[in-house]
Structure 1
Amino acid sequence: MRWIKTVCLGLMLIAGVAHADDAVRPLPKLKLDSSRVAVAGLSSGAYMATQMQIAYPELFPSAALVAGGPYGCAGGKLQVALSTCMKGAPAPDVAALVTVAKQRAASGQTGPLTDLAHGRVYMLHGTEDALVAPVVAEAAAHFYDALRSEPGLSGLQVTDDGQRAFAHNLPIAASGDDCGKSVSPYLGHCGFDAAGAIFEHLFGPSAHAAAADARGQLIRFDQDALRPGGVDALLATTGYLYVPAECATGKPCGLLVAFHGCKQNVDAVGEAFVRDAGFNRWADVYHVAILYPQTRASFAPLNPQACWDWWGYSGANYDTRQGVQLRWVVNAVKALGLPVVH
């Protein structure tokens, strides 16, 4: 009878999200495969993804960074974020950042770097990016190459995809006239399916192509219910979760946490990123749920473009295990059913 109960619960989940735009609910429990969990992000979301990976490598050994720089780049200083970590003037000091990462891991501020031993890192950045300079993204590649040379980390797979001509956006499979521009909603019609490349690099090649349209369900959930210790993580009240049909029926499912970029949250671009970035189509192929957390804009603290915190507006420990946004993400994946022990 247990299988009947599982199927019924899955059907209830599917039915319950048919009118997702009208309901906000708690995150559902899924049967998550902890060996297929990763993070990805664009711009500030890329910085957030590398922070999650370094802080919690036992949960997120694999990451995809689109137009982002190396872990710890800003060092808690907005001016450094705006200069070194965006314009590359001066370029990030990769050796110093690697030293900081190693020191934090040794002190327990972040997780053991050896948990990255079987991880994968895919870095994608455009040659026409005028917002985050290519030299900054290359510094991220050098950062991971340096980690790979550390004892026990030779198995870390690092791919630097930096020779494609696109601006500061997430390329999508459709073609258009905005690939060389950085304009809202920051989904460049470049004829290159970045979401598909991200899935292939993080989860391996697939024998099947993605359908033209996603077949699962996009649901809205209550982000405030996941505040760590009740502390405001400076996020929006509502987040999004995409659940492929097979994941909803209780079958084992992977998980990708996808972080939007600045000015790319739902308040700014509607549901463009959570519906049109291409992740959901590939989620159906790979049987991977997609968590789309949402930030909010604010002036106190200063974050008018609704960026993820990669320079310290949420507190001094923003990029460690004490960071409130990072702890919120851990709460979210735990609520989804991922075993979390730390």
Structure 2
Amino acid sequence: MRSRNGFLAFVAAIGLAAGSLSWSMAAVPAPQPGALGKYDITGTYVSGLSSGGFMANQLHVAHSGLFQGAGIFSAGAYDCAQNNLSTALSACMDTVLPRKTPAELEQLTRTRAAAGSVDPPQNLSGDPVWLFHGSADQTVRRPVNDDLATYYRDFGARVVYDNTSAAGHAWVSPIGPNSCGATSSPYVNRCGTTDPVGAMLGHLFGRVNPAASALSGKLVQFDQNSYVPGGNAAAVSMGREGFAYVPRACETAPCKLMVTLHGCYQYYGLVGNALMDKGYLNEYADTNNMVVLYPQATTTTGNPRGCWDWWGYQSDRYPLKTGPQMAAVVAMVKALSGGQPTTPPTSTTTTTTTTTTPVPQCVTASNYAHTTAGRAHAELGQTYANGSNQALGLWNTFTTSSIRETSANYWVKC
């Protein structure tokens, strides 16, 4: 368990929300092409909105030994979507279909941790987690966000959950260009005199200094291809360019790292620097020694809205440590912390040929045979693949299904 001072964090968060009546407005600097440098990183955190919120949770859970806390605007519990688009849309955004309970997703997390697919969930105990959902947000419904709060609390995280705002579906900042209740591009809203960003950082860090009125740092634009497995960002629905805001102080002094993940329709290729400019993170970064990493997703045929992968459009390993987008973001984090990207070699090299795991073969059998062989399990007459919990149909000797093992005891439908 990590030791945190929850009381001081709570006081800091409330004080920032209630006490600040005017806001500094400092335009984000023009991007400077470059590479991610090495900094003295003392703690790593993750935040995000919507699909970026789901991805932030995935990163925090799968890499709980690396990330020390999370701030999430409008998202649900870990792997709510279960590698299924219909479930994602109708159970994990809207609630017209049933979804896995927090308890079921907690057990799924433990099972994956036992297989080494994610870090031990015991790491989450004591971690600060800040959650936000606005009453005008009809994109990801309130019960879904409630599940995320329950999931984290059940693992012992120190959760602050702000669900009293009248905000729409958006990142909420004191300098946001949209009105509080809006759900429209660029999905950065302003809600009166409140400062959710300061409240989030206050909870995550214990305390924060007031935001800067002018920025002293630089915005680095780097090539994301260098951090994606295989070296092709477009192949995993990520943009070529990513960004990192680096305060001047972080060039020589220890700093924290915040990874911030945009929502759907909020990627750089569509809205430009809107989140980086109006999200109010850089202003706090300058006065609190914090590097901010802004990775970028983009559109593909299966991802026309430029979302992060939280339902399996790009890979059925999307919520695991081996998920391509997850691996890319972690490679960026490690580059900032240690100076070297951790990208696997491209498929044209000899090393890749000798180390890449072959694509698993499909196993076709009756659902009864799958369960007796340990590939699946039965619940109330239905069959579910071990690990992914994907539904396979009736549990009997007549119903057949095809599944494959993508990691130890983690089976998915072919």
Q: 1:38 aligned to 37, 45, 68, which one?
A: 45
SS of 2:292's equivalent in the other structure is strand
**Which residue pairs with 2:332 in the alignment?**
332
Q: 1:89 aligned to 80, 96, 99, which one?
A: 96
TM-score normalised to the size of structure 2? 0.72
**Which residue pairs with 2:86 in the alignment?**
79
**Which residue pairs with 1:153 in the alignment?**
none
- The answer to whether the 8 A contact 1:53-1:60 is kept is yes
- The answer to whether the 8 A contact 2:264-2:305 is kept is yes
- The answer to whether the 8 A contact 1:91-1:135 is kept is no
Distance 1:19 1:179 in 2: 26
> Which blocks of at least 5 consecutive residues in structure 1 are unaligned?
1-17, 149-155
Written as runs of structure 1 = structure 2, the 5 A alignment for 1:302-341 is 302-338=302-338
State the Cα deviation string for residues 68-104 of structure 1 (Å, max 9, x = none): 1100100000000001100122353222111111111
- The answer to whether the 8 A contact 1:64-1:121 is kept is yes
Distance 1:177 1:29 in 2: 36
> Which blocks of at least 5 consecutive residues in structure 2 are unaligned?
1-27, 343-414
- The answer to whether the 8 A contact 1:176-1:190 is kept is no
Q: 1:140 aligned to 148, 163, 175, which one?
A: 148
Percent identity over the alignment is 36
Distance 2:205 2:125 in 1: 15
Shift of 1:190: 1.1
Q: Does 1:28 align with 2:37?
A: yes
Following TM superposition, the consecutive aligned residue runs of length 4 or more in structure 1 with deviations greater than 6 angstroms are none
Shift of 1:228: 2.0
Distance 2:121 2:29 in 1: 42
* Change over 3 Å in CA distance of 1:245–1:261 after alignment to 2: same
Distance 2:29 2:131 in 1: 36
* Change over 3 Å in CA distance of 1:247–1:197 after alignment to 2: same
- The answer to whether the 8 A contact 2:46-2:71 is kept is yes
Written as runs of structure 1 = structure 2, the 5 A alignment for 1:257-276 is 257-276=259-278
Which one-letter code corresponds to 2:254 in the other structure? P
**Which residue pairs with 2:398 in the alignment?**
none
**Which residue pairs with 2:212 in the alignment?**
211
- The answer to whether the 8 A contact 2:281-2:292 is kept is yes
Which one-letter code corresponds to 1:244 in the other structure? P
Mean CA deviation greater in 224-233 or 70-79: 224-233
- The answer to whether the 8 A contact 2:124-2:152 is kept is no
- The answer to whether the 8 A contact 1:122-1:158 is kept is yes
Written as runs of structure 1 = structure 2, the 5 A alignment for 1:143-158 is 143-148=151-156, 156-158=157-159
**Which residue pairs with 1:162 in the alignment?**
163
* Change over 3 Å in CA distance of 1:187–1:20 after alignment to 2: closer
Mean CA deviation greater in 228-237 or 95-104: 228-237
Shift of 1:260: 0.4
**Which residue pairs with 2:369 in the alignment?**
none
Distance 2:151 2:195 in 1: 26
**Which residue pairs with 1:120 in the alignment?**
128
Shift of 1:176: 7.0
Number of residue pairs matched?
310
Q: Does 1:51 align with 2:52?
A: no
Mean CA deviation greater in 255-264 or 187-196: 187-196
User: RMSD between aligned alpha carbons?
Assistant: 2.0
Q: 1:247 aligned to 247, 250, 257, which one?
A: 250
Mean CA deviation greater in 277-286 or 38-47: 277-286
SS of 1:163's equivalent in the other structure is coil
Q: 1:69 aligned to 47, 70, 76, which one?
A: 76
Written as runs of structure 1 = structure 2, the 5 A alignment for 1:190-229 is 190-191=191-192, 192-206=194-208, 208-229=209-230
Shift of 1:263: 0.5
- The answer to whether the 8 A contact 2:177-2:188 is kept is no
Distance 2:299 2:97 in 1: 28
* Change over 3 Å in CA distance of 1:338–1:112 after alignment to 2: farther
SS of 1:50's equivalent in the other structure is helix
Q: Does 1:280 align with 2:282?
A: yes
TM-score normalised to the size of structure 1? 0.86
**Which residue pairs with 1:60 in the alignment?**
67
Which one-letter code corresponds to 1:159 in the other structure? V
Distance 1:99 1:69 in 2: 16
Shift of 1:24: 2.4
Distance 2:216 2:70 in 1: 25
Larger radius of gyration: 2
Which one-letter code corresponds to 1:317 in the other structure? R
Shift of 1:38: 0.4
**Which residue pairs with 1:4 in the alignment?**
none
Mean CA deviation greater in 252-261 or 177-186: 177-186
SS of 2:335's equivalent in the other structure is helix
